[in-house]
């Protein structure tokens, strides 16, 4: 098992390029199953979750080539002939559930094990299954397995109870080649949905409305090969910005879409950072002081992203004043708090509310990541803390950040990965 050793208390200075978005490439890899051809995906990030998605495509009969130098994936789905995802892969990456719509659309059948909960809580998929049943998919849930079959897909108007990102994406994938028009209302509006729409339309689909709360999918008979460049990872960008805010310094991020993190930018400016955007580069500097933000409430896009809550909390531990965090999306997304307390943070939790009294006085300590974004937050906190930290559980971090130790080393942080 690897761990990170961080010697903190240094400013961050330097430049890095932000990798392609994990939460965009995963549904787009699922979408390649809809066409019987070879697609080329550029800026495909080198992440363990992406490798799991490659394995799923290969389990189904497809083949995958990946040029890690170029960050380019070559996905050949001509020989897809299976419809099951093995339990091991479902467990490895619960977001494999977003392959369900594409597999049913292609094979008219699917057999996956229940994705189950994860570190963030129960992670139900009732909205996915309700929409699929409305669209004519017969689903039996037995002994932890979800078996689906559909003679044909019946386009519908689907009203989502919640603007679920995964459910929105799964319905888009199931309906792209259906015979008729499907409308999703109360759809999620995250930028990754718009990236999926762009890719589906490049394949020859007819999808519109992504980014708004109503998405219209006019089914087409056949899809063809496409090439696509994945959008920048807005959460990775937000994470590096929060680390610079926590440590102080002056960093330059390349390959950033500022529009996607508008609210994070404005809150870091309110906290005293200076942020300048020039095309797809973003510079953030933090001088002497960092100020707390009264309230940070996570909301569906374009509200404050739940995935940036933990990294932002790490920064607020270094700010003068008190910040209240309200986590409205997931029921168990404060697991990093216990570890921050070990570093001397002053945080009180009550249900979905966490109150941080910034005291700028974090001290290095051995800490353990319990989820992806919490692990990134602990890395940012360790960089800001005085003294040495050891960070365990970094396989969580590798799911969503390309070599976090290299990224922060290039920004002047003293971070090394050692094998236990
Ligand atoms: C996506 O997860 C992201 N993952 C998450 O990023 C992100 O935190 C989340 O959207 C919210 O933005 C990927 O895109 C791979 P949801 P997803 O369905 O689709 C409830 C990261 O760190 N819900 O929008 O699973 C659910 O419990 C990850 O990169 C139901 O009740 O999120 C949650 O409370 C973590 N029933 C809320 O909706 C359902 O059928 C939002 O979940 C589905 C969801």
- Whether 164 is in the pocket of ligand 1, judged by its Cβ within 6 Å, is yes
- Does 288 score more than 80 pLDDT? yes
Least confident of 20-34, 116-130, 174-188: 116-130
Atom of ligand 1 nearest to the CA of 126: 40
Q: Are residues 91 and 12 in the same domain?
A: no
- Does 352 score more than 80 pLDDT? yes
| Pairwise CA distance, residues 327 & 338, whole Å | 16
Kindly give the pairing relationship between strand 414-419 and strand 295-297: unpaired
Nearest to 173 by CA among 128, 130, 232: 128
List the beta bridge partners of residue 76.
38, 63
Domain-ending residue, one of 229, 255, 280: 229
Q: Are residues 355 and 318 in the same domain?
A: yes
Task: Determine the length of the chain.
Answer: 420
Domain-ending residue, one of 179, 195, 229: 229
Tokens (6 digits) for 357: 């009294």
Beta strands in 136-226, from DSSP E residues, in sequence order: 138-142, 145-149, 157-159, 181-185, 206-208, 214-218
- Does 239 score more than 80 pLDDT? yes
Task: Give residue 49 CA to ligand 1 midpoint distance, Å.
Answer: 15
List the beta bridge partners of residue 217.
182, 207
pTM of the model: 0.98
Confidence of residue 117 (pLDDT cuts 50, 70, 90): low
- pLDDT, residue 44, reads 98
Q: Are residues 35 and 164 in the same domain?
A: yes
> SS3 for 98?
helix
- Whether 58 is in the pocket of ligand 1, judged by its Cβ within 6 Å, is no
- Domain of 74 in residue numbering reads as 22-229
Q: Are residues 70 and 8 in the same domain?
A: no
Mutation probe of ligand 1 site: the residue of 26, 49, 126, 164 with most atoms within 8 A of C-beta? 164
- Does 211 score more than 90 pLDDT? yes
| Pairwise CA distance, residues 416 & 59, whole Å | 35
- Does 74 score more than 90 pLDDT? yes
- pLDDT, residue 122, reads 77
CB 232 within 8 A of CB 64: no
Q: Are residues 214 and 241 in the same domain?
A: no
Q: Are residues 398 and 303 in the same domain?
A: yes
| Pairwise CA distance, residues 336 & 414, whole Å | 21
Q: Are residues 13 and 93 in the same domain?
A: no
| Pairwise CA distance, residues 380 & 361, whole Å | 14
Q: Are residues 8 and 67 in the same domain?
A: no
- Does 90 score more than 80 pLDDT? yes
- Whether 360 is in the pocket of ligand 1, judged by its Cβ within 6 Å, is no
Mean pLDDT of the region 189-213? 98
The CATH number given to whatever domain includes residue 316 is 3.65.10.10
The protein residue with its alpha carbon nearest to ligand 1, atom 26, reads 123
Mean pLDDT of the region 153-169? 98
| Pairwise CA distance, residues 334 & 353, whole Å | 9
| Pairwise CA distance, residues 192 & 215, whole Å | 14
Residue 352 neighbours by CB distance under 10 Å: 17
- Whether 23 is in the pocket of ligand 1, judged by its Cβ within 6 Å, is yes
- C-alpha distances in Å from residue 22, one per residue of 32, 50, 109, 236: 16, 7, 27, 9
Kindly give the pairing relationship between strand 12-17 and strand 249-254: parallel
Q: Are residues 123 and 61 in the same domain?
A: yes
Tokens (6 digits) for 204: 């020859």
Question: Residues near 400 by Cβ (< 8 Å), separated by ≥ 6?
Answer: 22, 47, 49, 233, 235, 236, 372, 373, 376
| Pairwise CA distance, residues 21 & 307, whole Å | 13
Q: Are residues 173 and 284 in the same domain?
A: no
What 3 state SS string does 288-321 have? Answer: CCCECCCEEEECCCCCECHHHHHHHHHHHCCCEE
Mean pLDDT of the region 302-328? 98
Question: Residues near 266 by Cβ (< 8 Å), separated by ≥ 6?
Answer: none
Domain-ending residue, one of 199, 229, 259: 229
User: Which one-letter DSSP state was computed for residue 174?
Assistant: H
- Whether 368 is in the pocket of ligand 1, judged by its Cβ within 6 Å, is no
Count of domains in the chain? 2
- Does 377 score more than 90 pLDDT? yes
Please tell me which residue in 118, 149, 242, 257 is annotated as part of the active site.
Answer: 118
CA atoms within 13 A on the CB side of 369: 29
Compare 143 and 315 and report the one with higher pLDDT: 315
What is the residue-averaged pLDDT of the chain?
96
Q: Are residues 107 and 179 in the same domain?
A: yes
Q: Are residues 196 and 253 in the same domain?
A: no
Q: Is 118 in the active site?
A: yes
| Pairwise CA distance, residues 303 & 189, whole Å | 10
Torsion of CA 85, 87, 90, 96, to 10 degrees: 10
């Amino acid at each position: 098992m690897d761990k990170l050793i961080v010697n903190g208390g240094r400013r961050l200075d330097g430049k890095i390029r932000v990798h392609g978005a994990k939460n965009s490439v995963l549904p787009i890899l699922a979408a390649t199953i809809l066409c019987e051809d070879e697609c080329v995906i550029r800026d495909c990030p080198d992440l363990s979750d992406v490798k799991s998605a490659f394995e799923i495509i290969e389990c189904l009969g497809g083949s995958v080539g990946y040029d890690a130098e170029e960050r380019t994936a070559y996905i050949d789905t001509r020989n897809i002939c299976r419809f099951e995802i093995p339990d091991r892969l479902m467990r490895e990456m619960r977001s494999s559930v977003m392959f369900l719509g594409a597999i049913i659309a292609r094979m008219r059948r699917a057999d996956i094990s229940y994705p189950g909960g994860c570190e963030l809580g129960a992670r139900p998929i009732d909205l996915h299954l309700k929409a699929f049943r409305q669209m004519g998919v017969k689903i039996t849930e037995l002994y932890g397995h979800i078996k689906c079959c559909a003679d044909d897909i019946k386009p519908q108007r689907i009203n989502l109870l919640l603007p679920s990102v995964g459910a929105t994406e799964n319905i888009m994938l199931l309906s792209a080649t259906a015979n008729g028009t499907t409308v999703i209302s109360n759809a999620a509006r995250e930028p990754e949905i718009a990236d999926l729409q762009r890719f589906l339309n490049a394949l020859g689909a007819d999808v519109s409305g992504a980014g708004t709360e109503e998405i219209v999918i006019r089914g087409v008979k056949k899809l063809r090969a496409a090439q696509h460049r994945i959008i920048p990872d807005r959460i990775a960008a937000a994470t590096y910005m929060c680390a610079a805010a926590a440590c102080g310094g002056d960093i330059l991020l390349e390959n950033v879409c500022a529009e996607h993190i508008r609210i994070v930018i404005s809150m870091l400016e309110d906290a005293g950072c200076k942020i300048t955007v020039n095309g797809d580069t973003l510079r953030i500097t933090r001088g002497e002081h960092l100020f707390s933000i009264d309230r940070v409430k996570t909301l569906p896009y374009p509200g404050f992203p739940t995935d940036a809550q933990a990294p932002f909390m790490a920064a607020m531990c270094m700010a003068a004043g008190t910040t209240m965090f309200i986590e409205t999306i997931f029921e168990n997304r404060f697991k990093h708090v216990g570890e921050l307390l070990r570093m001397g943070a002053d945080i009180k939790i009550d249900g979905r509310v966490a109150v941080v009294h910034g005291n700028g006085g974090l001290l290095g300590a051995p800490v353990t990541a319990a989820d992806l974004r919490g692990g990134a937050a602990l890395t940012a906190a360790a960089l800001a803390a005085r003294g040495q930290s050891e960070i365990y559980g970094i396989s969580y971090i590798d799911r969503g950040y390309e070599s976090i130790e290299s990224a922060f080393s290039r920004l002047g942080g003293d971070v090394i990965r050692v094998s236990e």
